[in-house]
A = this chain, B = another copy of it.
Amino acid sequence: MTDNNQNLTELSSLGEFGLIDQLTKNITLNNDSTVKGIGDDAAVIKGDSSKQLLLTKDLLLEGIHFDLMYMPLKHLGYKAAMVNFSDVIAMNGTPKHMLVGLSVSSKFSLEALQEIYDGFKKACDTYGVDFVGGDTTSSLSGLHISVTVIGEADPKKVVYRKGAKPNDLLCVSGDLGAAYMGLLILEREKKAFKADPNMQPDLSGHDYILERQLKPEARKDIIKLLDEKEILPTSMIDISDGLASEAMHICRASEVGCAIYEEKIPIDHTTYDMAKEFKIVPSIVALNGGEDYELLFTIGQEDFEKIKDVQEVTVIGYITDKSEGERLITNDNQVVELEAQGWDAMKKRELS
C-alpha cells in the first residue's frame, strides 16, 4: 500500500473490472456519433454514408519507444494518442474515436495508470476525440500501449501517399529534428544521473526540443489551414521516421522521384545549436531523426501562390519523374541519393 510514504493503490487490490471502473470514470464523450462508449463487448458508433472512415493503430512499448526514467506518464498517454491522431490527420481526416490496449506489470499503481489516462483524456478533449473502449491486462514486465484511432474524412478529400505528380511542390509543416535532439538530451542526462544519482539533470533552456520529444502535437491546424486556403494536397504522410524515409514512401507509392534542397529544410535554431553541440550535422537529424509528427505533403504548382506566405509551411523541394530518383541537393550543391535509415537507425549510429 505504501511507496515513498504515499498511499498508492496496488492493482491487485482492484481486479480487472474495478480497475477499469476507476480509470474510466472521468471519461466524457464529445461526439454525437458515439452511441455507446466503454462498458460493453464493443463500442457502438453511428455510420455515415457521406464519410469515409480512417483506421490506424500504433504501439508504444517501454524500453523500445519510451523510457519511464524521463517520460512523465501523463505525457506518455498524450503522446500515444497523438501519434495515432497524426496518422488520421495525414490522410486529411479528423480523429473521432479511440480504443486503448494497456498491459502493465504489477509494479504499477492505480495512481500511475490514472496519470496515463489523464494524458489520454487531455489528448481526446483537446482534439475532440471520444475514448470509447479497449482492453487492460497484466504483463510479465513493462508497460505496453496499443492505441487504435478511428477518424473520418470527406471521401473526395482523403489524401494518400499515392498521388504526387512530377513538378508538384514538396512541402513540410513546422520544423524538423527537434524531437530527436530532445531525446538525445534526455539520454545524456539519464547517463549522467546513473553515474551520479546526486546530480541534478540539466534540462534548462531546452524547453522547445524537450516538449517536441515528450509532448508532440498532431498538426490538425495545418489540414484546417490547407482546407481554408482551398488547397487539397496531391499526397501526404506524417513524419514519424524522419523526412528521408517519409519522402521515399511518397515517391514509391506515387511512382515518382523527388529533389529536396538541404538548405530549405526547416530546422529550429535550438535544434541547430544542440546538433552542433552533439557534433551531428543538423540536416541529418531532420532527415533521419523522426518523431516530429509534422506533415510532409505535395501540392500542384498552381497552389504555390496560396501557400507561399503561410509561415507554418515550407516548400523544401519538388517531385520529379521516377527515373530521376530520390535526391538531396546539399548546401554545397552536390546531388546525393536520399537514404532512409530504417527504424531505430539513429539509435544505433555513433554520435561522434
Interface residues of A in 86-107 (CB under 8 A from B): 87-88, 90-91, 93, 97, 99-101, 103
Instruction: State whether A15 touches B48 (Cβ < 8 A).
Output: no
Interface residues of A in 142-191 (CB under 8 A from B): 142, 144, 146, 148, 150-153, 155, 158, 160-162
Number of interface residues of A (CB under 8 A): 69
Instruction: State whether B52 touches A49 (Cβ < 8 A).
Output: no
A140-B61, A160-B36, A342-B16 known; A93+B253 contact, CB < 8 A: no
For residue A55, which residues in chain B have a CB less than 8 angstroms away from its CB?
42-45, 97, 99, 132-133, 148, 150
Instruction: State whether B63 touches A140 (Cβ < 8 A).
Output: yes
Please pick, from B46, B140, B253, the residue contacting A64 in the complex, using a CB distance under 8 A.
Answer: B140
Instruction: Check: A330 CB closer than 8 A to any chain B CB.
Output: no
Instruction: Give per-residue flags for A38-71: 1 if the beta carbon is below 8 A from chain B beta carbons, else 0.
Output: 0111111111111111111111011111000000
A180 CB to closest chain B CB, in angstroms?
17
Instruction: Check: A109 CB closer than 8 A to any chain B CB.
Output: no
Instruction: State whether B41 touches A52 (Cβ < 8 A).
Output: no
Complex: A41 Cα to B162 Cα, angstroms: 11
Instruction: State whether B47 touches A139 (Cβ < 8 A).
Output: no
Interface residues of A in 1-20 (CB under 8 A from B): 15-17
Q: What is the chain B residue whose CB lies nearest that of A18?
A: B342
A310 CB to closest chain B CB, in angstroms?
22
Instruction: Check: A324 CB closer than 8 A to any chain B CB.
Output: no
Complex: A49 Cα to B153 Cα, angstroms: 14
Instruction: Check: A281 CB closer than 8 A to any chain B CB.
Output: no
Complex: A103 Cα to B139 Cα, angstroms: 13
Instruction: State whether A42 touches B87 (Cβ < 8 A).
Output: yes
Instruction: Check: A119 CB closer than 8 A to any chain B CB.
Output: no
A2 CB to closest chain B CB, in angstroms?
24
Instruction: State whether A46 touches B40 (Cβ < 8 A).
Output: no
Instruction: State whether B133 touches A47 (Cβ < 8 A).
Output: no
For residue A97, which residues in chain B have a CB less than 8 angstroms away from its CB?
55
Please pick, from B47, B63, B155, B162, the residue contacting A52 in the complex, using a CB distance under 8 A.
Answer: B47
Instruction: Check: A233 CB closer than 8 A to any chain B CB.
Output: no
Instruction: Check: A135 CB closer than 8 A to any chain B CB.
Output: yes
Instruction: Check: A311 CB closer than 8 A to any chain B CB.
Output: no
Q: What is the chain B residue whose CB lies nearest that of A60?
A: B137
Instruction: Give per-residue flags for A68-90: 1 if the beta carbon is below 8 A from chain B beta carbons, else 0.
Output: 00000000000000000001101
A208 CB to closest chain B CB, in angstroms?
26
Complex: A44 Cα to B153 Cα, angstroms: 9
Instruction: Give per-residue flags for A98-124: 1 if the beta carbon is below 8 A from chain B beta carbons, else 0.
Output: 011101000000000000000000000
Q: What is the chain B residue whose CB lies nearest that of A102?
A: B59
Complex: A224 Cα to B137 Cα, angstroms: 31
Beyond the given pairs A45-B55, A58-B135, 14 more chain A to chain B contacts, judged by CB atoms under 8 angstroms and listed by A's residue number, are A16-B342, A35-B158, A39-B253, A40-B91, A44-B153, A46-B49, A47-B48, A47-B53, A58-B101, A59-B137, A65-B137, A101-B101, A140-B142, A144-B146
- Those 5 A-B pairs whose CB atoms lie nearest each other, nearest first: A146-B146, A42-B56, A42-B54, A47-B51, A49-B49
Chain A interface residues (CB < 8 Å from chain B): 15-17, 35-36, 39-59, 61-65, 87-88, 90-91, 93, 97, 99-101, 103, 132-135, 137-142, 144, 146, 148, 150-153, 155, 158, 160-162, 237-238, 253, 342-344
